[in-house]
Chains A and B, each alone.
Chain A
Amino acid sequence: MRGNDVIVRTGSKWLSFIIIMFSFFIFMSGHNNPGGGFIGGLMAAGALVLVAVAFGTKVLYRLLPLNYRLVTAAGLLIAVLTGVGSFIFDVPFLTHTFGIYHLPILGETELATATLFDLGVYLTVVGVTMTIILTIGEDV
C-alpha cells in the first residue's frame, strides 16, 4: 500500500544518484583519503536500498536486473584472482604493486593493483548487503 509519496520518490531519484557517485568517489579515493571498498560498497548498497524503499523492489529489479548473490561471488573472485595474479610474477600470494603513469586524459595517475582488490571488496559488500536486505525484505 503505497501512498502518494511524490516528494520521496523525486528526492530519492536525485539522492540515489548522488549517493552512488559519492560511493564511487569514496572507493576511488580510498587509497589516499578516508574511504575504500568497504565503506564505498556499503554506500552504494544504501543508494540501492533507497530506490527499493521509494519505488519497491520490483522497480529496482527492472532498473538493475542483478542477482546479488552473483555480485558477491564476482567480488570474491576478483579479490582472490588479484592475489593469485601475483604468482605470475613469481612473488608471494597477494603481493601488490603500483606505479605512476602518464595517461592521456587523466594526466599523472597512480595505478595500483590494490585497487583491483578493493574492487572485489566493493562488489562483495554490495552483493552481501543487498542479498541480506532483499531476502529479509521480500520475506516479510
Chain B
Amino acid sequence: MVLLHIAILLPFAYAVLVPLLYKSIKRIHTGWFVLPIPVLLFLLISSHLGDVRQGIISSYSWPWIPSLGLEFTVYADGLSILFAMLITGIGSLVILYSIFYLSKTKEAIHQFYVYLLMFMGAMLGVVLSDNLIVLYGFWELTSISSFLLIAFWYEREKSRYGALKSMLITMFGGLAMLAGFVMLYGMTGTFSIRGIIADAAAVTGHAWFLPALILILLGAFTKSAQFPFHIWLPDAMEAPTPVSAYLHSATMVKAGIYLAARLTPVFGGTAEWFWLIMSFGLITLFWGSISAVKQTDLKAILAYSTVSQLGLIMSLIGIGSAALYYGYGTTSQPYVAAMTAAVFHLINHATFKGSLFMVTGIVDLETGTRDIRRLGGLASLMPITFTFAIIGAFSMAGIPPFNGFLSKEMFFSGVLNAARMDIFIMGTWGVLIPVIAWIASVFTFIYSFIFVFHTFTGKRKAGELPKVPREAPLGMLIPPAVLASLVVIFGLFPNLVSVSLIEPALASIFPQFVMPGEQFGVHITHWHGPTTEVLMTIGVVVIGGLLFWQFRRWQGLYGRLPKKLSLNALYDGGLRGLDRFSARVTRGYMTGSVRDYLVYIFGFMIAVVGYMLFRTDALRYIGQGSYAEITIYDAALAAVVMAAAIASLFARERIALIIFTGSVGYLVSLFFVLFRAPDLALTQMVVETVSVALFLLCFYHLPKLKQEVSSRRVRIGNLLISIGVGLIVTLTALAASGARLFDSVSEFYVQNSFELGGGHNIVNVILVDFRGFDTMLEITVLGIASLGIFTMIKLRAEMLNPPAALRGALHKRGERAASNTSDTDTAKRRRNHAGQ
C-alpha cells in the first residue's frame, strides 16, 4: 500500500484539474469540487490513528535518486499524523469557508484553489517525509505556494510587498536549513530522519554539531516567525483571510515547530538546543504579545498573537527537550510534561486561531473594515459570530473552561519547572523565565479582550461603516462553528485529545522513552489543587483585566517607542541599503570605459601570473636553458624593431602610427628570414601589406588624431600596467624556456614529413596533413571574418538609408516606446533609476 504517497501527491494531481473545472463548469463555485479532497485525506489519515496508537508505524519508500541515497520515503508516526490531521482537517474547513468568502465571478478562484492545493500537498509532504532532502523540497514548495497566496490580489502594492518579504525571509531560512541537513548527512551518512535519530550519538559529539544545529534552527525560526524573523507574518496578512487562517495560523507557521519537535531526539538534551529554542521562544512570546496590543487592525492583532503563541510553543519544546538529558525516569517527568503542553497547545492554537481568523473574515466582509477604531457594537447584529469570537479569544487568553486555559496552566508549570532546573548553567537567571512568561500572558489577555470587546461591544458606529452589518450566511458560519465547538470540547474533555493524539506524538518525540506498544500516560485535569500555576492565572486575569479597563490611559505609551528602532525599519533599510550598496559597487567598477576593463584584465593577469611565478619559485629557471649565440644581425634587427615600437608610442598622427606599426611588421618578417622560416616570412610580409592597406583605407576617413586629455594619474597607471605586463610576459618566457622538461615533438615531423606526408616542406605538410584540422578551422575563421565585415558594412548602409517600409516600422516602434514611458509604473521605475 502506498496510500501515504497518494495522500501527498493527490492534491498536486487534483490541482491540474481545477482550472479545467473552473472553465467548464461556471455555474458551481469551484471550491465545491476541491472540498472532497481534504475531507477524503482527513479520513484516510485518521484511519492511521489506531495503528499509530498501537505503535505500528507505516512507512513506504519510493526510490527517487537511489544512487544519492535519496528516497521518497513517507512514514506516519504520532507526530506526523497529528500534523497531517491538522492540515487536512483545517484545510477542509478553510476550503468550505472560502467558498463563501471568495466570489466566483469577481475573483480568479481557480488560481486560488490551485495554489491552496499545492500548499496542502507540500505541507503534507513536509510532515510525512522521512528523507531530509525530500522534506526540504516540500518545505520550499510551501514557501512558494505561500508566496503565491499572499500575493493573490497582486494588483495591490502591499500584497506584493508582503509576499516578497515572506519569500525572502523564509527562503533565507530554508537555504540555511538545507546546509544544516547536508551537515547532518555528513555526520551520519544518511538522509533518513529515523536513521539520524538512531545515530544521534554521532551527531552530539561531532564538531559540526553546533553549526548544523544553528542552521537548522534558522530554517525553523524563519518559517515559524520567531523573533527576529517574525516581521514577515504581519505583512502576510494582505492575503485573503482563508489563507491567513490556514497558512499563517494553523499549518505553515507550524512547520518550524514540527521541525524542532521532529529533530528533538537528535539535538535534544544538550544545552545549546535547550537555550536557543527556549530563549528565542520566550522572546518571541513576549515581543509578539506586547506588539499585538498596539495594533488597530484585527488581522494584525491576530498576526502578532500568532507570533506570540508560536513563541510559547517553541519555548515549551525547548524546555521539554531537557527531558532527554535526564533520560527516562521521574526526574524527566516535568520536562515531558512541558512537551505535552507544547503538543496540546499546538492543537489548541490551531483550533482557536483558525476560528478567530474566520470571525475576522466575517466581520471584514460584513462591515467592510477591519479597523477596530471604526468597529464596535456588533454583538447584537452578529450574535453568532460574537459567540465564536468570545470562545476563541477567551481560549487564547487562557480563561476556563476552554482548552487554552488548560494549555496555559501546563505552560506555567513548564516554565516553573524550567526555573527550578539545575542543569545547563541555569543559575539564578532561570527565575526570569516564569516572569517573562507571566508578563506575556498578561498582554495576551489584554489583546484577546481588545479583539472581542472593541469589535463587538461598545457604541455602534454605524455611520462610519462602509456597509450595513448583518449576520453572515450559514455556510460561512459552519467552519468557525466546528472549530469553536472543538475549542469547547477539548476544553471540557481534554483526554479525548490526549489519548488519541498527544500520546502518540510524544512517543515519536521521545522515542527512547517508550517501548513499542506502550503509551505515555498523559492525563490532563482542570483542577489540580491550589498551586502556583493557579495563582499565576488569577494574577493574569486580575492584572490583565485592570490594564484592559484602563487601556485608553496607557496606550499612548506605545507611541513613545521610536519607529526607527523597529525591526521592519531595519528590514526595509537593510534592503534599500543593499540595493544602494550594490548599485554603488556596480557603478564603481562597471564604468563603461574600455580602458578600465583593460586595466582590470591586465592587472589581474599581472597579479595572478606574478604571484604564481613568485610562489612556485619559477624565476630560478631563468638562464638555465641552452641559448643560441647572438649574432650581429639579431642585435641590429632587435634594435631597429625596438626603435620602431617606441616611435609608434610617440606618433602624433595616424599615418605615422600606421607606418611605424607596419615597419614593425616587416621587421618581424625579417626576423623570420633570419630564423629560417621562409613560409612565415612570406605570409607575414603579405599579411602585413594587406593590413597596412586596410588601416590606410579606414583611417583615411577618421578625423585627425587628437591629443587625449588624460590625468597624470591615468597616464602613470597606464605606464605601470604596460611595464608590468611586459615584465611578466618576459619573465614567464625566460623561465619557461629555461625549464624545458621534454624534447620537442618536431623531430617526428622532420623525419616523417616525406615518408608519411609526401612533401619536403615540413611547415606545409604539418598545415595541410598532420594538423589539417586546425587549418580547416582557421580558414573557417577567415570566412566568418569576411562575412562579418560584409554584413556590418552592407547592413549599416541600409540602416542609414532605410527603405520606406522599414522606416515606417521603426517610427511605429518609437511611438510605442514613448507610450510605454507614460505608464506610471515604468515612469516611476525610470525615475528611481535616474535618482540612484
Residues of A within 8 A of B (CB): 26, 30-39, 42-43, 45-46, 49, 69, 72-73, 75-76, 79-80, 83, 93-94, 96, 98-99, 110, 112, 114, 117-118, 120-121, 124-125, 127-129, 131-133, 135-137, 139-140
Hey, which chain A residues are within 8 Å of B700, CB to CB?
A: 140
Select from chain A the residue with minimum beta-carbon distance to B787. Answer: A69
CB atoms of A42 and B687 under 8 A apart: yes
CB atoms of B764 and A80 under 8 A apart: no
A-facing residues in B59-117 (Cβ within 8 Å): none
| Separation of A26 and B775 alpha carbons in the complex (Å) | 18
Hey, which chain A residues are within 8 Å of B137, CB to CB?
A: none
Q: Which of A72, A94, A121 contacts B773 (CB 8 A)?
A: A94
Hey, which chain A residues are within 8 Å of B776, CB to CB?
A: 79-80, 83, 94, 117
Report the minimal beta-carbon distance from B606 to chain A, rounded to whole angstroms. 35
B683 contacts A by Cβ under 8 Å: yes
* B700, B772, B797: most-surrounded residue (chain A CB, <10 A): B772
CB atoms of B764 and A129 under 8 A apart: no
Report the minimal beta-carbon distance from A114 to chain B, rounded to whole angstroms. 4
CB atoms of B779 and A94 under 8 A apart: no
* B686, B689, B701: most-surrounded residue (chain A CB, <10 A): B686
CB atoms of B761 and A30 under 8 A apart: yes
| Separation of A46 and B682 alpha carbons in the complex (Å) | 13
Q: What string of 1s and 0s marks CB contacts (under 8 Å) between B124-145 and chain A?
A: 0000000000000000000000
Hey, which chain A residues are within 8 Å of B709, CB to CB?
A: none
CB atoms of B785 and A36 under 8 A apart: no
CB atoms of A121 and B694 under 8 A apart: no
Select from chain A the residue with minimum beta-carbon distance to B759. Answer: A31
| A35-B761 contact, Cβ under 8 Å, with A117-B768, A136-B698 | yes
Select from chain B the residue with minimum beta-carbon distance to A124. Answer: B779
| Separation of A99 and B757 alpha carbons in the complex (Å) | 10
Hey, which chain B residues are within 8 Å of A43, CB to CB?
A: 686
Select from chain A the residue with minimum beta-carbon distance to B700. Answer: A140
Q: What string of 1s and 0s marks CB contacts (under 8 Å) between B678-696 and chain A?
A: 1100110011011001100
CB atoms of B764 and A36 under 8 A apart: yes
Report the minimal beta-carbon distance from B768 to chain A, rounded to whole angstroms. 4
| Separation of A50 and B700 alpha carbons in the complex (Å) | 19
Comparing B396-404, B728-736, B740-748, B788-796, the segment that makes contact with chain A is B788-796
B780 contacts A by Cβ under 8 Å: yes
14 contacts between A and B (CB under 8 A): A31-B758, A31-B764, A72-B786, A76-B780, A79-B776, A83-B773, A94-B772, A96-B769, A112-B759, A118-B768, A128-B779, A131-B787, A131-B790, A139-B797
B651 contacts A by Cβ under 8 Å: no
Select from chain B the residue with minimum beta-carbon distance to A49. Answer: B693
| A31-B772 contact, Cβ under 8 Å, with A69-B787, A120-B779, A136-B698 | no
A-facing residues in B737-785 (Cβ within 8 Å): 757-761, 763-765, 767-769, 772-773, 775-776, 779-780, 782-783, 785
CB atoms of A140 and B697 under 8 A apart: yes
A-facing residues in B618-675 (Cβ within 8 Å): none
Interface pairs A-B: 8 shortest CB-CB: A98-B758, A34-B678, A31-B759, A32-B760, A131-B786, A128-B786, A124-B779, A42-B686
Q: Which of A31, A36, A76, A133 contacts B779 (CB 8 A)?
A: A76
Chain B, interface SS category: helix
Hey, which chain A residues are within 8 Å of B767, CB to CB?
A: 36, 38
The total of chain B residues at the interface (CB under 8 A) is: 41
CB atoms of A127 and B682 under 8 A apart: no
Chain A, interface SS category: helix
Q: A31-B759, A43-B686, A76-B780 are in contact. List 4 more A-B contacts (CB 8 A).
A: A31-B761, A32-B761, A45-B690, A121-B768
Report the minimal beta-carbon distance from A48 to chain B, rounded to whole angstroms. 12
Report the minimal beta-carbon distance from A11 to chain B, rounded to whole angstroms. 18
Report the minimal beta-carbon distance from B122 to chain A, rounded to whole angstroms. 53
Q: Which of B689, B775, B783 contacts A127 (CB 8 A)?
A: B783
Report the minimal beta-carbon distance from B787 to chain A, rounded to whole angstroms. 7
Report the minimal beta-carbon distance from B583 to chain A, rounded to whole angstroms. 42
Q: Which of B694, B697, B779 contacts A79 (CB 8 A)?
A: B779
| Separation of A35 and B690 alpha carbons in the complex (Å) | 18
| Separation of A124 and B604 alpha carbons in the complex (Å) | 38
CB atoms of A36 and B679 under 8 A apart: yes
Hey, which chain B residues are within 8 Å of A37, CB to CB?
A: 768
CB atoms of A114 and B757 under 8 A apart: yes
Select from chain A the residue with minimum beta-carbon distance to B776. Answer: A79
Report the minimal beta-carbon distance from B783 to chain A, rounded to whole angstroms. 5
Report the minimal beta-carbon distance from B693 to chain A, rounded to whole angstroms. 8
CB atoms of B686 and A39 under 8 A apart: yes
* A35, A94, A112, A132: most-surrounded residue (chain B CB, <10 A): A132
CB atoms of B782 and A128 under 8 A apart: yes
Hey, which chain A residues are within 8 Å of B761, CB to CB?
A: 30-36
| Separation of A118 and B523 alpha carbons in the complex (Å) | 96
| Separation of A77 and B396 alpha carbons in the complex (Å) | 84
Report the minimal beta-carbon distance from A53 to chain B, rounded to whole angstroms. 10
Hey, which chain B residues are within 8 Å of A127, CB to CB?
A: 783, 786
Hey, which chain A residues are within 8 Å of B793, CB to CB?
A: 135-136, 139
| Separation of A139 and B683 alpha carbons in the complex (Å) | 27
Select from chain B the residue with minimum beta-carbon distance to A137. Answer: B697
| A75-B779 contact, Cβ under 8 Å, with A96-B768, A132-B694 | yes
| A114-B765 contact, Cβ under 8 Å, with A69-B787, A139-B793 | yes
CB atoms of A125 and B782 under 8 A apart: yes
Hey, which chain B residues are within 8 Å of A49, CB to CB?
A: 693
Q: Which of A94, A96, A124, A140 contacts B701 (CB 8 A)?
A: A140
| Separation of A39 and B683 alpha carbons in the complex (Å) | 5
Select from chain A the residue with minimum beta-carbon distance to B780. Answer: A76
| Separation of A93 and B773 alpha carbons in the complex (Å) | 9
| A69-B790 contact, Cβ under 8 Å, with A34-B678, A114-B757 | yes
CB atoms of B782 and A124 under 8 A apart: yes
